[in-house]
């Protein structure tokens, strides 16, 4: 098991290095698109050599919504539309950037320290969540091979660029997966609630994680300790929801009272040129709502998010981008739910030891995960910008990776170009170092997607989809072209 986790660690690290390298090179080689989107205003400062190096390495990761997170990290919630982005990830960036800038202020600008911190935080969260995913999968399926394949698919997931770019996906996934592990393996209700609360402070869909707490608590206590269940559930809900509600209270206090913020001139000028609403100047419409929550109003007002609002002819390309993952998850989930319809009726509140999960057996709790992602997929398809579906589903649940791991099969022996290349390298080293220990194959051998030939059409399609989205997505995103 330790060897598996070690391999996963190195695979996760190498996958991020690959993503960063591809992003940096494509950002230099491919001309940038120049969309009319939000870009955090910057001072015209003299850049050091290190600043230029940091810009070369990481500029491709600062595209699209990453600009909002970088802006909040530097200037806080200076414009109303920034309230659509939850605070935990930018707060962590600002914390580590302040420490980094304190140490390196003679060599880099504060913005560069923000950029480096954003990358390092995502790197740590991504690596840790890949190992946690292995542990969750091992708990559910009791099979090391499935657990390992699941982690590999996570490291090479179709939304992988968003786990490297300065988005909150890696942070959200870490707290979501860690909360699941604490809940279902260690039965640590309060610790799991705290993790789910932190996921709520990272992304709005973290609220759905409360469903796991509800199911686990009802299953564990409802019949045997009814009174404890009644007392425990509200307490756990409060812990999980507190960060979300605290952010909404902060937004209300900041924008619905005459508390004018003090911002740098370049931030003020940019906001005025774009017609953005500043804190404490003109009270937003949502301040007068009976339940003054900023999030739903801002999503509707600035991004036109709502039921079927995205169903327009001009959005067909975005639906095509999301089509593979939507069809894959809905069809596979339907098969699993149909195979376990008797357990579905009881919502899993039985003493059944195993369920059918495609061609394997799994812990019955897996059904809760499937129901969660099934309805989340339907919600994404009907209610949000559909191209976001890929990264939302890839960061919200282990189920996508379980389905990929169980649906993909490959031929043995290995005959791919990767394996032939490694065999050549191995023989070369053996000739040079006669009598020494046999040369160990590189981490590439561990990536069965590259080192093994798919054994059927579905596996070919999966590999093509993964490779295409990993490479093309990285290049397209890094040059400001629309992606998922």
| Containing structural domain, residue 319 | 2-409+470-478
User: Mean of the pLDDT values across residues 386-393?
Assistant: 96
pLDDT digits (tens, 9 = 90+) for 89-141: 999 999 999 999 999 999 999 999 999 999 999 999 999 999 999 999 999 99
- The CA-based angle 66-112-475, given to 5 degrees, is 45
**238, pLDDT greater than 80:** yes
Q: Is 40 inside any structural domain?
A: yes
Task: List all residues 6 or more positions away from 449 whose beta carbon is below 8 Å from its beta carbon.
Answer: 152, 153, 156, 408, 463, 466, 467
Residue 289 pLDDT grade (very low, low, confident, very high; cuts 50, 70, 90): very high
User: Mean of the pLDDT values across residues 432-460?
Assistant: 64
pTM, 2 dp: 0.92
Say what the pLDDT of residue 418 is.
46
Cβ(129)–Cβ(119) under 8 Å?
A: no
User: Mean of the pLDDT values across residues 309-336?
Assistant: 96
Mean pLDDT of the chain: 90
User: Mean of the pLDDT values across residues 30-47?
Assistant: 91
Domain count within the chain: 1
* Percentage above 70 pLDDT, the chain: 89
Q: Is 422 inside any structural domain?
A: no
Please measure the distance between the N-terminal and C-terminal CA atoms of the chain and give it in whole angstroms. 35
What is the Cα Rg of the chain in Å? 24
User: Mean of the pLDDT values across residues 228-237?
Assistant: 83
Say what the pLDDT of residue 439 is.
44
pLDDT digits (tens, 9 = 90+) for 52-65: 999 999 999 999 99
pLDDT digits (tens, 9 = 90+) for 400-424: 999 999 999 887 655 444 444 455 5
**Residue with more model confidence, 228 or 104:** 104
Say what the pLDDT of residue 446 is.
56
Q: Is 330 inside any structural domain?
A: yes
Q: Is 21 inside any structural domain?
A: yes
Q: Is 199 inside any structural domain?
A: yes
Report d(CA 184, CA 139) in Å as an integer. 8
Q: Measure Cα distances from 52 to 10, 34, 123 in Å.
A: 28, 21, 21
Q: Is 448 inside any structural domain?
A: no
Window from 233-247, 375-389, 403-417 with minimum mean pLDDT: 403-417
């Amino acid at each position: 098991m330790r060897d598996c986790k070690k391999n996963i660690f190195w695979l996760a690290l190498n996958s991020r290095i690959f993503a960063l390298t591809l992003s940096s090179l494509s950002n230099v080689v491919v001309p940038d698109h120049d969309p009319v989107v939000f870009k955090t205003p910057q001072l015209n400062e003299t850049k050091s050599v290190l600043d230029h190096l940091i810009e070369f390495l990481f500029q491709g990761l600062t595209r699209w919504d990453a600009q909002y997170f970088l802006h909040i990290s530097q200037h806080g919630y200076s414009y109303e539309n920034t309230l659509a982005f939850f605070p935990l990830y930018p707060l962590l960036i600002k914390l580590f950037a302040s420490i980094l800038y304190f140490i390196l202020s003679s060599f880099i600008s504060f913005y560069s320290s923000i950029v480096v911190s954003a990358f390092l935080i995502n790197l740590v969260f991504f690596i840790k969540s890949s190992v946690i995913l292995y542990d969750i999968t091992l708990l559910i399926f009791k099979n090391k091979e499935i657990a390992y394949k699941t982690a590999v698919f996570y490291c090479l997931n179709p939304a992988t660029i968003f786990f490297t770019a300065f988005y909150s996906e890696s942070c959200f996934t870490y707290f979501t997966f860690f909360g699941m592990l604490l809940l279902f393996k260690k039965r640590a209700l309060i610790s799991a609630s705290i993790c789910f609360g932190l996921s709520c402070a990272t992304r709005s869909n973290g609220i759905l994680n409360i469903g796991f707490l509800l199911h686990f608590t009802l299953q564990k206590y409802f019949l045997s300790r009814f009174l404890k269940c009644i007392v425990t559930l509200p307490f756990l809900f409060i812990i999980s929801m507190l960060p979300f509600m605290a952010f909404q209270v902060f937004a209300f206090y900041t924008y619905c009272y005459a508390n004018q913020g003090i911002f740098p001139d370049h931030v003020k000028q940019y906001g005025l040129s774009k017609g953005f609403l500043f804190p404490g100047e003109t009270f937003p419409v949502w301040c007068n709502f009976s339940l003054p929550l900023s999030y739903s109003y801002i999503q509707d007002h600035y991004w036109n998010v709502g039921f079927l609002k995205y169903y327009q002819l001009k959005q067909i390309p975005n639906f095509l981008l999301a089509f593979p993952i939507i069809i894959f998850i809905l069809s596979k989930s339907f098969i699993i739910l149909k195979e376990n319809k008797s357990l579905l009726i009881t919502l899993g509140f039985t003493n059944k030891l195993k369920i059918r999960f495609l061609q394997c057996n799994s812990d019955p709790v897996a059904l809760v995960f499937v129901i969660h992602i099934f309805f989340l997929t339907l919600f994404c398809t009907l209610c949000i910008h559909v191209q976001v579906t890929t990264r939302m589903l890839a960061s919200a649940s282990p189920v996508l990776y379980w389905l990929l791991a169980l649906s993909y099969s490959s031929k043995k022996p290995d005959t791919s170009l990767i394996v032939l290349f490694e065999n050549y390298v191995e023989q070369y080293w053996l000739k040079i170092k006669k009598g020494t220990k046999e040369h160990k194959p590189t981490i590439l051998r561990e990536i069965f997607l590259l080192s093994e030939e798919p054994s059927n059409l579905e596996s070919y399609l999966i590999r093509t989809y993964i490779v295409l989205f990993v490479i093309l997505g990285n290049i397209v995103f890094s040059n400001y072209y629309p992606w998922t």
